[in-house]
Structure 1
Amino acid sequence: MMQAHETKIQPIIEGTKQYLVPMFQRTYSWTLNEWKQLWQDIMDIEQFDESKGHFIGSIVSMPLPSAPHEVQRYLLIDGQQRLTTLVIILTAIRDLAKENSETRVADEIHETLLVNKYEDGDSHFKLLPTQTDREGYKNLMFNIDDGSNSLILKAYKYFKGEINKMNIELRHLKTIISNRLSVVSIVLASDDNPYLVFESLNAKGRPLTQSDLIRNFFFMRINQEQHEFIYSQYWQPMQDGLGEVLTEFIRHFLMKGGKVVRKNDVYVILRESAETEDTLNYIKELYTYSTFYRKLINPHYEVDAALRAKLTRLNRIEATTSYPLLLKLYNLYNQGTIDISDLKEVLDILENYLIRRFVCDIPTNELNKIFLSICQKIEGYKGIEVVKEVKSVLQNKGYPKDEEFKYNLIHTRLYGSGDRSRKTKLILETIEESYNHKEKVNYKNLSVEHIMPQTLNESWKQELGTAYEEIHEQHLHTLGNLTLTAYNAEMSNENYFKKQIQLNNSHLELNKYFVNIDKWDEKSIKERANMLATNCVSIWSYFGSEEYEIKDVKGTTPRLLFFFNRWHEVNSWRDVWTTTINKIIESDASNFEILLEKYPNLISLNETAFKRFYKLDNNAYINIDLSARDVYKLCLRVLDMLEVDRKQWSIEITS
């Protein structure tokens, strides 16, 4: 039965006992604000009323089984930040007492409040923090300054400095800490679930992050004996590798299945996802994916140079919406389902798709759903099939064709604030790289330069002619007026003749263009824009094909399906889908096994596999939760896969 009573710090920690901070707890995270508040509480006792205690919160613990003559261990469920800080203060008092030759005070603190004098190893310490904090904490107990930047050492130095400012007897300060500060000690019964208690507590201190709760959830499902191994082998490397983006990684991990997960729902969705899974296998899988994610956010960790370069480029155009898909692709690559050339090709496709959409000013709000739909559609695919499916999906999801792409390259205002300037710089760099330099160009030293400057002086107004305002408005930020240079400050809004001299000294192919251009006006800008746009159409060449182009069947109603030389009456696109699959299986029974293997997200022997389903003639089940466009596209895909001539399949649509 749980017991709760008010007590002081000394009775909690004196005696042969140890408080063990469990793996599901966060590391020590109190900083200056919390230190100041606790120190003020201590000073209030000293300055105003020594006879009364001061309540500082609660400490929740649970006794762990121990053999006779062993240290009595307690799992510290809540209050670890508070108790750790008080132990740090006592350590600072101990060390100052040593420095002041107050040996008896120092020994008394050390041997009764900090360590178990006659125990060895980890049992020697009355408080044992999590793995991450443990080494630094032990060094502190042994009065070793390891030069680290840990919060534990910072706290120690802060409190030692504050004590030094005071004119107070160290024994008296020790008494205030150990016998004047009041806490509510809550000791759980052995059959209480410490992890659920921790999760539900609403104590003073920093609020739990979703990754804290997720860590708690996992470790509550793992035997205590396995905690240290699993934490050090999987959770800590994942936590150290991703830091503050750990929760965002878990969100993207959950989304790789094709479903949107909102930022505030990560913990809830993970619990639902992992509830019926083997916990250790789930953590291992999460850890494996975290190594992929680390490469996505920091391509430096990718060993393949070409792959590293492609990931870096994607990050420059802020492709975070594609991360769930990239996680899935990395895993397929890791498993050998696709090879590195397939992965690289998909990265090129994604860059191509995003660059063309950026240039054509297509809104980005649908990208999340588009990439998640691919996560679902490539399920069960292998090798080049994955690449083809990515292409076929994206070409029908707002992917500009050459004519639209080139027109916008010439006329769209590419340069602008925020990510627009970064993406524009990448476009210019890529054009420069397309000239295949023998010498490597250091693009970090270059910035985007407007040939016709952002502020027109009299010289430029004369250069542009009477329509200078209109020309400036229409062409300032377009591709034809932009280049790269390291002399941005020198050029500023100088006239074209002076800029031309600087550009002629440039080693960039982009700037050799200006050698024979004597005048910079609207005609010159348009001519250069056309030339550069032609290059871009070649660099980011159209990856779509007529074979996979979906006709716009949205909003239409089919009336007849012609298939295998027969007409079949249909009333909906669902009828088209189910009739097509039924007839394919009827024509050759072996087709069913192929469909079952290739499309597990569409066909199943299990009735509960799909939210909306139809029972086929062979008693299998088919997913009918599809749009008209999905049906049209999937029917063509199935025909191609089974090598059925498309000419044998056609639809008559009502007018």
Structure 2
Amino acid sequence: MSGKGEIKSEKILIKDIFSHMWFRIPEYQRPYVWGADEVVELLDDLTYAMMEKPDSEYFLGSFVFQAKAANPAMGQAFDENDLLDGQQRMTTLLLLFAVIRDLADDPDAKDDCQKCIYQKSSKYKNIPERTRLVYAIRDSAQAFIENYIKTTGGTAKEADLTKCGEKDEDLSAQNMAKAVLRLRKFFQENPAHKPEELLQFLLNRVLLIYVSTEDLDDAFRLFTILNDRGIPLRNSDILKSLNLGALTTSAEKAKYARLWEEAEGELGEDFDRFLNHVRTVLVKEKARLNLLQEYEDKIYDPKERDKATGQRKPVLLRKGRETFELIERYLSHYRTLLGGQNYDETGQSFAFDNLVKVMQTGLPATDWMPPLLRYYNKFGYSNLLVFLQKLDNKFSADWIGQYAPTDRIEAMNRVLKVIDDAASEQDVFNSGCFDIDRDAFVRVLDGPVYGRRFAKYILLKLDYLYQNHDQRMHFETLSVEHVLPQNPDGASQWVKDFTPSEREEWVNRLGNLVLITRRKNTSQGRMDYLDKKKRYFDKCIDTCPNSLRVLRTYDRWTPAELLQNHRVVLNAVLKHYGV
């Protein structure tokens, strides 16, 4: 336990965290928000490390907490820690222990998992029952832990968990239920990964770094530093030092130090992301390590061996001038491609810049950026808009079609490899690397889309398709709005025009959704169509081409108009995606 005012930091194995430490999710923390993407990403990284480096330690990240000593006078009987940073990962690990417990055949594995989840009481040893993670003020989240995580067999109640994931009023409980189902599905889909084997690796080889203090202000300050400055910049600063040290003249060191620092100042937090993009251009595989280790172990001095030849993979880049020149070149590409000034070079049109803005705003990740950088580096502006449209369609279709993050990343890496091997742009376009799963794409888009993560993006894409690209697209605050409201007034025209079953079937479909450029107004959103069109929509869709088209085309909104518009927008999207 750290003393008052003392800041303590150490690395610690998972087994020691979940056998000796107790955590409270304080009132000011946000809910548990990890989705399927983050859960699968964690499992993929853990199982990859287990298979490839089973005898090596695997660093899973860091967490920050305020250590709080027991204070019976304040109702706190035991030492505990307020978790400031690391809630999402710690909660997911707790859920993982419960899933392994319920899937494992070995009784010892089940017992060890249960001990990681909670401490059983003993009146003879004067030991109280304690759950490893307690959620302050979130009774539903804590009830979920009690019912499904703490209770043996709780994660096997898939029907109850599905219902909880869809209907529980507490967001944390909803997302925990979905995470448990996704964890179970992972093991079902990957029978080679035995729960007991992952448990042994997780407990004995996986570690985190913790930073703690008893002072709340210090704890918040540490949280801010580690998330906004310290951890992201530490790896890139060391990377800079390694490369400066490989230079031979003071003039070169001054030149490239200035280049690096200007890029840091210009890009801020995005600088590390940019360095990772350059890494991906070179390595063409998913990053498994931190930024510094990726450059050291995959680029400068590869440790892996080629599976076909058994030989160590070749050096991809040398430290010093070669690295700085590559970064300088790709930094120039990055500024150009994202700078919004490509009108003259892309056919006297803002279509390229507008699509980049749509992708930056609506897509869930920037894994599409390395292929764009590599294409521009090799082919310049030649057919650049065509390439970007195909790249966007592939990445977004895989996302909408519910492909896992790892699959989406691998698809982008295939595009990189195709570019490397291509003699011309047409070789890239004809390679098949942009093919999409048409059935999955159509099935998802033709169903309820409101509330899905991609809903805003696909509406932005419709705006892009209807945009006059002689002009830049302008959007800042965007909200998804229903034309037919979700909960119309009982005396409204909506209730007369739509039966309850028609409302249930169509209210969340693509044809009933538009974008507005301000926050939603629930009271105005329930008005009848003509009033809503005049008093609400006219004031907040001025920069949304698809929304403007809807209001200019339809003077009424009945099932016939909704169906017609749904066919129009669905066909526009499918045509753009080549379906």
- Name the TM-score class by shorter chain: 0.3 to 0.5
Q: Which structure ranks higher in relative contact order (CA pairs < 8 Å, sequence separation ≥ 6)?
A: 2
Q: Please report the TM-score for the alignment, with normalisation by the length of structure 1.
A: 0.43
Tell me which structure has the larger Cα radius of gyration: 1
Q: Please report the TM-score for the alignment, with normalisation by the length of structure 2.
A: 0.48
